[in-house]
Structure 1
Amino acid sequence: MATYNKRGYKPKTQKEKEVIEEQESTTAEIFETLDEGAGKTEEWVAKNQNVILYTVIAIAVIAAAIWAYTAFILGPKAEEALEESTQAFSFYEQAVNATGEEQDSLYNLALEGGEGKYGLIKLAENYSGTDAGNIANYQAGMAYLNLGGTNYQNAIDYLTAYDGDGSIMEAYAKAGIGDALMQVDQAEDAIKYYNEAADIVPNEFTTPKYLLKGAQAALLTGDNSTAIKNLERIEEEYETTPEAQTAKILLGQAQAASN
């Protein structure tokens, strides 16, 4: 290890002296650069201290506003929504398990309300931003979808407003939109929703089911390449599911049509 950089060391040769002088010069330049940088930073802070202060205050105010909204508005609103939603949610669950005219009646009660409580429509409108309001969007959409007739656009609107946050419920909602679009002769748009629904939570129940629906919609529109892609995926990844046999038949038709 070189010893000429130790304190008190005197260089013995001209070369050692030059090396020491070069090191000292480099060190001085580094500290000078650091001093200049620090000086510029201090100068910038001095010139912009009001901006910095206002920014800090603004952040604090926003944080306080979010906390206040959550604590004093959203919290009580969510509790109120949960209490208000019990009856509508009960009507909806009963409708799901009913049939015929009774089912339609229960879906309408769920939507409009009963026994002095809001229905799904009012829950979604008055309690937006709460879990109950979000669920009301989903249930209202599904209720309109099952009622059919002139209700398909309402189904699309409410299911679009629902935020499933990547859950299986989001897959159901996306597929529901696809079903409603098929009913209003918009098969081309339905393909997108079926394929999205298939991949939200991949599994052996919903994925092949929605891939098959997407393929069938694609065949209706003449989009054979999408149909083939969906059907081949069912055969390759979900060969033991009930949809696989139908996929095999449709795949032959799609391949023949594309030649």
Structure 2
Amino acid sequence: MAETTHKATTPESKQEFALEDTMHVAEAFYRKNQNNIFIALIAIIVVAGGIFGYKHFVKEPNENKAQEMIFHAQNYFAIDSFKLALNGDGNNYGFAQVIDKYGSTKAGNLAKYSAGVCYVKLGQFDKAIEVLKSFKADDLIVQAMAFGLIGDAAMESGKTEEGIEFYKKAGHYNDNEFTAPVYLFRAGMALEKAGKTQEAITIYKEIKEKFPQTNEGRDMDKYLARLGDVKN
């Protein structure tokens, strides 16, 4: 009688069976969902390609074009020809056209600040406020100056409360001795104009305490005394 042999199941063979089962499950999952997987892969490729394409075929060329366009406007700006700097000379674009065509570029953003200065110089204060509010700077001092310029434009157009708001914003944006005391002082003067004497005193005291070595800081006792806050 033939002897029947039974092959013992070893841990290794169990592992092989488990692995084979897993492979079958994975294969079945792939077959069932291969369309969805394919669509997802295509989407990833399209998005990655779109980012690459936008950067190299849209963003970079637009940045270069904006830089070229802004060149002549900057030259006019440098010699105080603000109308030509803003609107161009008929052959070359001004800041307004750069903003219109390439406002999302770095050069277009810079054009917003320069255009704001031009509008203020030309007495178009509402337009100055509008364009400067859309300007964003990484540099803390430049951004403070933009807020301060909005304050100037607001005051010139009779919007005292808005002027005070942006002078304070400029003065508190960065505690440096170059911009902060200047715009805080303008905030104090605007508060005086609005009849808010106590708030003006608070601002003047802040300037005196924070920036005693600046021109504004050295003059604060005089302004405080004028408002009745006399140093004992």
TM-score by length of 1: 0.68
Q: 1:186 aligns with which of 130, 134, 159?
A: 159
For 1:1-259, what aligned pairs fall within 5 Å after superposition? 61-95=46-80, 106-114=81-89, 116-148=91-123, 151-254=124-227
Give the deviation of 1:57 after TM superposition: 6.1
TM-score by length of 2: 0.75
Gaps of 5+ in 2: 1-28
Give the deviation of 1:238 after TM superposition: 0.8
* Percent of aligned pairs sharing the same letter: 32
In structure 1, what is the Cα distance between the partners aligned to 2:41 and 2:200?
Answer: 55
What one-letter code is carried by the residue in structure 1 that aligns with 2:110?
Answer: I
Q: Residues 60 and 163 (structure 1 numbering): CA distance in 2 closer, same or farther, change over 3 Å?
A: farther
Query: Matched residue pairs, number?
Result: 197
What one-letter code is carried by the residue in structure 1 that aligns with 2:55?
Answer: T
2:23 aligned partner: none
In structure 1, what is the Cα distance between the partners aligned to 2:185 and 2:89?
Answer: 39
Deviation sequence 1:5-32 (CA, Å, 0-9, x none): xxxxxxxxxxxxxxxxxxxxxxxxxxxx
- Is the 1:218–1:227 Cα contact (8 Å) retained in structure 2? yes
Q: Residues 247 and 187 (structure 1 numbering): CA distance in 2 closer, same or farther, change over 3 Å?
A: farther
Give the stretch that moved more between structures: 64-73 or 204-213: 64-73
Gaps of 5+ in 1: 1-45, 96-105
CA RMSD of aligned residues (A): 2.5
Deviation sequence 1:68-122 (CA, Å, 0-9, x none): 2111101011111111211111100111xxxxxxxxxx11110111262101110
Deviation sequence 1:193-252 (CA, Å, 0-9, x none): 111112333211211001101111122223344323321111111112111244323334
Q: Residues 195 and 249 (structure 1 numbering): CA distance in 2 closer, same or farther, change over 3 Å?
A: same
Q: Residues 93 and 224 (structure 1 numbering): CA distance in 2 closer, same or farther, change over 3 Å?
A: same
1:43 aligned partner: none
Q: Residues 71 and 221 (structure 1 numbering): CA distance in 2 closer, same or farther, change over 3 Å?
A: same
- Is the 1:166–1:200 Cα contact (8 Å) retained in structure 2? no
Give the deviation of 1:61 after TM superposition: 4.0
In structure 2, what is the Cα distance between the partners aligned to 1:220 and 1:248?
Answer: 19
- Is the 1:212–1:243 Cα contact (8 Å) retained in structure 2? yes
In structure 1, what is the Cα distance between the partners aligned to 2:225 and 2:50?
Answer: 61
Q: Residues 209 and 71 (structure 1 numbering): CA distance in 2 closer, same or farther, change over 3 Å?
A: same
In structure 2, what is the Cα distance between the partners aligned to 1:244 and 1:177?
Answer: 23
Q: Secondary structure at the residue paired with 1:117?
A: coil
Q: Residues 62 and 226 (structure 1 numbering): CA distance in 2 closer, same or farther, change over 3 Å?
A: farther
Q: Residues 73 and 227 (structure 1 numbering): CA distance in 2 closer, same or farther, change over 3 Å?
A: same
What one-letter code is carried by the residue in structure 2 that aligns with 1:80?
Answer: K
In structure 2, what is the Cα distance between the partners aligned to 1:64 and 1:217?
Answer: 53
